[in-house]
């Protein structure tokens, strides 16, 4: 009983101390990230995301650890992959390599665009998941005449990448407060081929695909995990009873 009291004291004490330390250190700044929609088991969304990815991202970025064949996991057949997604001269067993050669990309953008295979896992942080970051990033490009590409971004200021989806979203300007330089809102300059809601939905699909591609086994992992936990809960019950039965004799 004494031990329980000590443990309780330790726990409350440390919780308070950690709470104080956290609030003292809570760092402000940066743009809040929007919550990305979770459609990880929606095959239609993943397939649409894969299409957007191959058409827009794969020109400059690679996903060098991701094999085309793995797209069968999101409900595509080998023929579908070959006919509509294999735009480069890659084979279906190959990994996704950018059309643009790294050397040329470095000349264009100043550095080789990062590999996107696990980008959704690497961009998580205090503001949200990696998917939240990407969802916000792809929706906060704006026209900026001072930048070399003519584009800038709210969550990634002075980004080297131009807005590849600008035809879908249209051109926008960011309205900034004159004194604080804080972001106030958007001003649509030219219309895109999609409405704002359609665009958000499309980016949601793209990010959903990136999230899936970062760990294709994630859905399987959770399904197996549920069964493993059911088994271990049963095992814990049995071993608890076994332990009780043996310890009856100890007085």
Partner 1 sequence: MAEFHEISPNASLGEKTLNWVDNRFPLSKLFKEHMSEYYAPKNFNIWYIFGSLSLLVLVIQIVTGIFLVMHYKPDAALAFASVEYIMRDVPWGWLIRYMHSTGASAFFVLVYLHMFRGLMYGSYRKPRELVWLFGCGIFLALMAEAFMGYLLPWGQMSYWGAQVIVNLFSAIPFIGPDLALLIRGDFVVGDATLNRFFSFHVIAVPLVLLGLVVAHIIALHEVGSNNPDGVEIKATKDANGKPLDGIPFHPYYSVHDIFGVSVFLFVFSAIVFFAPEMGGYFLEYNNFIPADPFQTPLHIAPVWYFTPFYTLLRAVTTELMYVLQACVAVGAVLAVVKGKLPMVFKAGIVGAAVVIIAMMHSIDPKFWGVVAMGGGVVILFFLPWLDNSPVKSIRYRPDWHKYLYALFVVNFLVIGYLGTQPVSDIAGRISQAGTLFYFGFFLLMPWWSRLGTFKPVPSRVTFTPH
Q: Which residues contact partner 1 (rule: CB under 8 A)?
A: 2-3, 6, 9-10, 13-14, 17-18, 21-22, 24-25, 27, 64-67, 70, 114-115, 117-119, 121-125, 130, 214-217, 221-222, 224-226, 228-229, 232-233, 235-236, 238-240, 242-243, 246-247, 250-251
Q: With respect to partner 1, which residue has the nearer C-beta, 115 or 205?
A: 115
Taking the least distance from each CB to partner 1, the nearer of 101 and 240 is 240
Q: Which of 92/194 has CB closer to partner 1?
A: 92
114, 123 Cβ separation under 8 angstroms: no
Among 163, 168, 167, 166, smallest CA distance to 198 is for: 168
Q: What's the closest the beta carbon of residue 135 comes to partner 1, in angstroms?
A: 16
Does residue 189 sit in helix, strand or coil? Answer: strand
6 or 175, CB closer to partner 1? 6
- Provide the minimum distance between the beta carbon of 246 and partner 1 in the complex, in angstroms, as a whole number: 5
Distance between alpha carbon 180 and the CA centroid of its chain, in Å? 30
Q: Is residue 69 a contact partner of residue 90, using CB atoms and an 8 Å limit?
A: no
Residue 68 Cβ vs partner 1, minimum distance, rounded to whole Å: 12
CB closer to partner 1 out of 13 and 157? 13
Say if CB 134 and CB 207 are below 8 A apart. Answer: yes
| Shortest distance in whole angstroms from residue 17 CB to partner 1 | 5
CB 56 → partner 1: shortest distance, Å?
Answer: 22
Locate 251 and state its tokens.
């007085």
**Shortest Cβ 85–partner 1 spacing (Å):** 18
Residue with tokens 């992959």: 81
Instruction: Determine contact, residues 54/106, Cβ cutoff 8 Å.
Output: no
Closer to partner 1 by CB, 67 or 143: give it: 67
Indicate the residue among 15 and 189 with the shorter CB distance to partner 1: 15
* Distance of closest approach, residue 194 Cβ to partner 1, in angstroms: 30
């Amino acid at each position: 009983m004494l031990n329980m009291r000590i443990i309780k004291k330790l726990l409350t004490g440390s919780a308070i101390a950690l709470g104080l330390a956290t609030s003292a250190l809570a760092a402000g700044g940066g743009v809040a990230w929007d919550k990305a929609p979770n459609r990880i088991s929606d095959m239609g969304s993943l397939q649409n995301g894969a299409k957007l990815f191959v058409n827009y991202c794969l020109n400059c970025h690679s996903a060098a650890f991701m094999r085309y064949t793995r797209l069968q996991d999101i409900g595509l057949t080998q023929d579908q992959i070959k006919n509509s997604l294999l735009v480069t001269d890659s084979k279906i067993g190959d990994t996704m390599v950018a059309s643009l050669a790294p050397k040329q990309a470095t000349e264009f953008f100043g550095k080789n665009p990062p590999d996107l295979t696990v980008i959704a896992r690497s961009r998580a942080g205090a503001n949200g998941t990696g998917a939240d970051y990407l969802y916000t990033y792809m929706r906060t490009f704006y026209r900026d005449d001072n930048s070399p590409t003519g584009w800038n971004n709210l969550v990634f200021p002075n980004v080297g990448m131009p807005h590849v989806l600008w035809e879908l979203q249209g051109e926008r300007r960011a309205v900034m407060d004159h004194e604080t330089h804080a972001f106030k809102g958007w001003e649509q300059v030219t219309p895109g081929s999609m409405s704002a809601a359609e665009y958000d939905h499309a980016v949601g699909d793209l990010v959903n695909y990136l999230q899936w591609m970062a760990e294709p086994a994630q859905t399987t992992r959770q399904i197996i995990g549920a069964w493993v936990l059911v088994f271990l809960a049963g095992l814990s019950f049995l071993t608890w009873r076994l332990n009780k039965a043996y310890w009856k004799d100890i007085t």
